[in-house]
Amino acid sequence: VFEAELAETIPVIHTSVAGCRIIGRLCVGNKNGLLIPNTATDTELQQIRNSLPDNVKVQRVEERLSALGNVIACNDYVALVHPDLDR
Protein backbone atom coordinates (compact mmCIF):
# COMPACT_ATOMS: atom_id res chain seq x y z
CA VAL A 1 0.00 0.00 0.00
CA PHE A 2 2.77 2.45 0.95
CA GLU A 3 4.68 1.76 -2.26
CA ALA A 4 1.60 2.36 -4.39
CA GLU A 5 0.99 5.72 -2.72
CA LEU A 6 4.65 6.68 -3.03
CA ALA A 7 4.79 5.69 -6.70
CA GLU A 8 2.10 8.26 -7.46
CA THR A 9 4.54 11.01 -6.43
CA ILE A 10 8.04 9.71 -7.16
CA PRO A 11 9.49 6.78 -9.11
CA VAL A 12 10.15 3.60 -7.12
CA ILE A 13 13.24 1.60 -8.06
CA HIS A 14 13.57 -2.00 -6.88
CA THR A 15 17.25 -2.75 -6.31
CA SER A 16 19.81 -3.96 -3.82
CA VAL A 17 23.15 -2.52 -2.75
CA ALA A 18 25.91 -4.98 -1.90
CA GLY A 19 23.27 -7.71 -1.95
CA CYS A 20 21.29 -5.95 0.80
CA ARG A 21 17.68 -4.82 0.35
CA ILE A 22 17.90 -2.25 3.19
CA ILE A 23 19.39 0.37 0.89
CA GLY A 24 18.55 3.45 2.97
CA ARG A 25 21.37 2.63 5.34
CA LEU A 26 23.90 2.07 2.58
CA CYS A 27 23.35 4.99 0.21
CA VAL A 28 22.76 8.71 0.45
CA GLY A 29 21.85 11.30 -2.11
CA ASN A 30 19.86 14.25 -3.31
CA LYS A 31 18.53 15.51 -6.65
CA ASN A 32 22.09 15.93 -7.93
CA GLY A 33 23.74 12.65 -7.02
CA LEU A 34 23.78 9.37 -5.16
CA LEU A 35 26.68 7.88 -3.20
CA ILE A 36 26.82 4.11 -2.79
CA PRO A 37 29.45 1.98 -1.04
CA ASN A 38 32.22 0.32 -3.01
CA THR A 39 30.74 -3.05 -2.04
CA ALA A 40 27.91 -2.48 -4.52
CA THR A 41 28.23 -4.80 -7.50
CA ASP A 42 28.70 -3.62 -11.07
CA THR A 43 25.23 -4.95 -11.90
CA GLU A 44 23.64 -3.01 -9.04
CA LEU A 45 25.51 0.15 -10.02
CA GLN A 46 24.38 -0.16 -13.64
CA GLN A 47 20.76 -0.84 -12.67
CA ILE A 48 20.71 2.23 -10.42
CA ARG A 49 22.32 4.43 -13.09
CA ASN A 50 19.84 3.20 -15.72
CA SER A 51 16.91 3.93 -13.40
CA LEU A 52 17.85 7.53 -12.59
CA PRO A 53 17.85 10.59 -14.84
CA ASP A 54 21.12 11.27 -16.65
CA ASN A 55 21.73 14.45 -14.65
CA VAL A 56 21.90 12.47 -11.37
CA LYS A 57 25.47 11.30 -10.84
CA VAL A 58 25.96 7.92 -9.14
CA GLN A 59 29.33 7.35 -7.51
CA ARG A 60 30.82 4.43 -5.60
CA VAL A 61 32.70 5.52 -2.48
CA GLU A 62 35.52 3.56 -0.90
CA GLU A 63 34.98 4.21 2.78
CA ARG A 64 35.55 2.25 5.96
CA LEU A 65 32.17 3.45 7.25
CA SER A 66 30.27 1.88 4.36
CA ALA A 67 26.76 2.49 5.74
CA LEU A 68 26.71 5.91 4.08
CA GLY A 69 23.07 6.53 4.93
CA ASN A 70 23.95 6.22 8.61
CA VAL A 71 26.92 8.62 8.53
CA ILE A 72 25.79 11.30 6.05
CA ALA A 73 22.61 13.37 6.19
CA CYS A 74 22.10 15.68 3.24
CA ASN A 75 19.67 17.64 1.15
CA ASP A 76 20.19 19.77 -1.94
CA TYR A 77 21.94 22.53 0.04
CA VAL A 78 23.98 21.08 2.90
CA ALA A 79 25.41 17.82 4.25
CA LEU A 80 26.18 16.72 7.79
CA VAL A 81 28.89 14.06 7.93
CA HIS A 82 30.24 11.79 10.64
CA PRO A 83 33.62 13.09 11.86
CA ASP A 84 35.30 9.72 11.25
CA LEU A 85 34.69 9.70 7.50
CA ASP A 86 37.96 9.44 5.59
CA ARG A 87 37.22 12.41 3.32
Q: Are 67 and 39 in contact (CB under 8 A)?
A: no
Tell whether the torsion through CA atoms of 67, 34, 41 and 20 is positive or negative. Answer: positive
Can you give the pLDDT of all 87 residues of the chain as single tens digits? 688 888 888 888 899 999 999 999 999 999 999 999 999 999 999 999 999 999 999 999 999 999 999 999 999 999 999 999 976
Residues 39 and 43: their CA atoms lie apart, in Å, by: 11
Alpha helices in 1-87 (DSSP H): 2-7, 42-51, 68-71
pTM over 0.85, yes/no: yes
C-alpha angle 47/23/49, rounded to 5°?
20
